[in-house]
Each structure stands twice: as structure tokens, then as C-alpha cells.
Structure 1
């Protein structure tokens, strides 16, 4: 999906299962170190505050804790959902930011369908769309080069193990704030309770907040699009290589 000139590797640390794509082995190691370090931050906070891990509603802000934890709480509270809804996105973004600072031209981390992407190369990258049993297949988003990190986060009521109270096959969010994209994808997925194009339009209204660039909501053969979304192109999506995590 990304081309043959980049290095791709699979990395697992406990429940965190990611695919890393970048320019060099050196940057791969930086990503692994950053992913492990920020996962430890979350684990340590949960050990002292177990409710943080299980709540599905807004969490009381904690100004005394690590900036990563504060960001998770503040971002999830935007949609009145639990802070763990942001964990994959915020950890992926932290690692991509470190890779960018280390000189990466391309840095992509797919954390179980929540993607932080930096593409400052000369050509677009294509990110495949995976919507489970939906007939929306072999399509992708063409992501133009940019000096900014982009979040492309997905939630689903029919794919994967993450909690969703909706029926969407794919609720996809685009934002330069990856944690916000992660939380918004959860909120969008939760909002679609019934089939039909009119219900898709209604669900999309819940994520129209500052910082969200665009969204795509897929259920069965129906697709809803809101805001600014990258160009959709044909793509040879290798579904067996999709990162599958929590």
C-alpha cells in the first residue's frame, strides 16, 4: 500500500500491536522505544487509578499527572467518552513525532487501525480502507505530502475487539490531532445505531467539532462523507497484512 522503497515492520508489546513504516532501521528502533515508553506511562497511571482504564464516560481532569495522560483525558472528554478511547492514537502520534524529529521523511504507525502518518516525501501515500464484510473493498485514501502529522483513525462495530456501541463497518476520522481523531472515531462509531443513509448523516453530526478535518462512515453498502477527506482511489489492499490489535 505504501510502496516498495520503505521499511515495514510488525511490532508487539503486550496488547499493543503495530505496523511501523519509515525510512531506516534506526527510525524503526526510535519508534519501538517511544511506543514502549509511552505505554509504560499509561500502565503506571492505570496501576494507581484503575477506573481510568474501564470508564466509558468523561474522566475527571488530573492536572498533576503526565502530559500524555492529561491529553487523553481532555481529548476524550470532548465527546463524553472514556480516556482509553484515545490511547492508540496518542501513543502512535508520540512515536511518529519522535521519528519526525530524528529526520524521517516518511513515518507511519498503524496501531490497530489508528494511524499517525508523516509524509514529507515527494509523492502521496495510499492508505487502504478496511470495512470488514462491507462491499467497500480495494479502495484507499491518497495522502498528499505535508510537513504535518496526520491522524487517520478507525472504529468499527463489526471488525476487531475494541468496544463500539454502534453498527458501522468503518467510522474513519481525519485530523492533525491524532488523539482527537481516535476519540472521534469511537464517538462516530457509537453514534450509528440503525442502518440507512439518513442515520449515517445523523451520526456524522456528532463529530463536527474544531480540529476534525473530515470523516467517512461506512455501513454495508452505504457511505457518508463529511468535511475534507483525501482523494479516494483504487488500491490493492492486502487484507491479510492489516494490523489487528485492540
Structure 2
């Protein structure tokens, strides 16, 4: 069976974002710096200096990664974990990505979007206690109110499946991987795997690993059972969907979004 050609949400405007409305007292905007494309939801009006801090943080994280890749090119292209060298101190984003990749058994860049989302949010949270950073389908959030996060449109009914997130659960990462949606590489056939965890890099890496294992609907149950073994690493929930089969486990309260 060949790889699926992705055909949904490939436009640069990321049309799925148009269905995500900020709440009262919040505003959303897009920030694009090279390959990093973020949708940021924060308090309105934005605190003084917010945008400058945001831009500087993203550029610093990207700079740390680019400098590391110059000296360690395998870190960028490897599809398996890359051990950190014994000498020197790697940048924090490299350390987080490497640890997540080793746990999930994937390449370090399977964790890059989740790591950037979380580390950016950590820097900005003192300026905006309500804060959602979405990085290509990978989310890290701080919130003082309960939320509903949309997961996936039903192709026939148009209904969007939503995940309820209590304010008390934040800060929280929700990271997704798909063989049919978006730009990221997947060796599976599943429509969606979403992983919930306090650790953005881990959630991103595990979502990739589990989606790679979805070759057909018969694999959904096996993937969900495997996910339970990662609770000691910080996984708190999983949603998996492949060709009509759906598996859900953990702290995952689903709802329909109109």
C-alpha cells in the first residue's frame, strides 16, 4: 500500500483556523517567521511589548536549532532518535526534543512544533494568563476558563469533534499527527492521532509515532493500548482515528462542535 497524498489544509492561510474564534477579552493573530507559522490567542488588548517578546522568543528558538544543526546535521533529518553528544551543553529546545524523540522512538524533529509551542507559551504566560499557541495543529495553552478544542471535521456531516479542556488542567499540550491532513511526514494511513500531555515535545513525538503505526482500522485498538504504557512519561490521553475506526482513552471528554 502506497503513502497517502495529503490533500486537506495545505493552503498557506490554514483555513481550519477560521473556525477557531477567540473568546470575549481575547484576540487571535498569525505570526510567520521562516517555516514557523503560529496562531496566537492572547488577552485583548495585548500587553505592551507582547509582540516583540513573542517574535524574539521564536527567533531565538529557531536560532538555537539552526546553530545546533550546523554542527549536528543528523538532528534535522534523522527518523530515529539521535543521542546527544557527551561534551558541551545543548540548547534547551534541543534537549527537550531529543528526550521526547528517545521516549517515542522517532526522529528529533517529530517534536519540534510541540517544543516551540510550549517554550514560546512559557515565555509569554506572565504577560497573558490566557494564552493558546497553535503551531501547525500542535497546541500549548494556559487558560483561566474551560475550553473546547476542535479535532477533526466529519467528512460527510461537517460536524467537528471537540475535546473539552478544563481550566484546571492547564498548562497543557494537545499535539496531532495525520497521514491525510497537513504538511508533516507520516508513514501511516490514519486520519488523526491526538496526544494530550503537559509536555509539548513529548505529545508531538508520540502523536507521530502512533500515527505511523495506523495502517488500517484494525490498528486503532492496538495503538490505544500501547499509548497507556506512556502514562509514566506524561501522556494523559489519546484520540486515534483510521478509516471509520475510532479509539479514545484517558482524560478525553469529547463533544460535537456546531
TM-score class normalised by the smaller sequence: 0.7 to 0.9
CA contact (8 A) 1:134 1:220 kept: no
Secondary structure in 2 matching 1:21: strand
TM-score by length of 1: 0.87
- 1:46 aligns with one of 62, 69, 77: 69
- Per-residue CA deviations over 1:70-128 (Å, capped at 9, x if unaligned) read 1211110112110001100111101111111x242211100000100111x2x312211
For residues 1-246 of structure 1, the aligned pairs below 5 Å read: 1=20, 2-23=22-43, 24-26=45-47, 27-62=50-85, 64=88, 65-100=90-125, 102-119=126-143, 121=144, 123-130=145-152, 133=155, 137-146=159-168, 148-196=170-218, 199-207=219-227, 208-209=229-230, 210=232, 211-229=234-252, 231-236=253-258
CA contact (8 A) 2:29 2:40 kept: yes
1:220–1:135 distance in 2 versus 1, CA, 3 Å? farther
- Per-residue CA deviations over 1:118-146 (Å, capped at 9, x if unaligned) read 11x2x312211125847673221121113
Secondary structure in 2 matching 1:146: helix
Structure 1 alignment gaps of length 5 or more: 237-246
What displacement does 1:204 show?
A: 2.0
The answer for the alignment partner of 1:244 in structure 2 is none
Higher relative contact order (CA 8 A, sep 6+): 1
What displacement does 1:147 show?
A: 7.0
TM-score by length of 2: 0.83
1:157–1:135 distance in 2 versus 1, CA, 3 Å? farther
Secondary structure in 2 matching 1:160: coil
1:235–1:3 distance in 2 versus 1, CA, 3 Å? farther
CA contact (8 A) 2:240 2:246 kept: yes
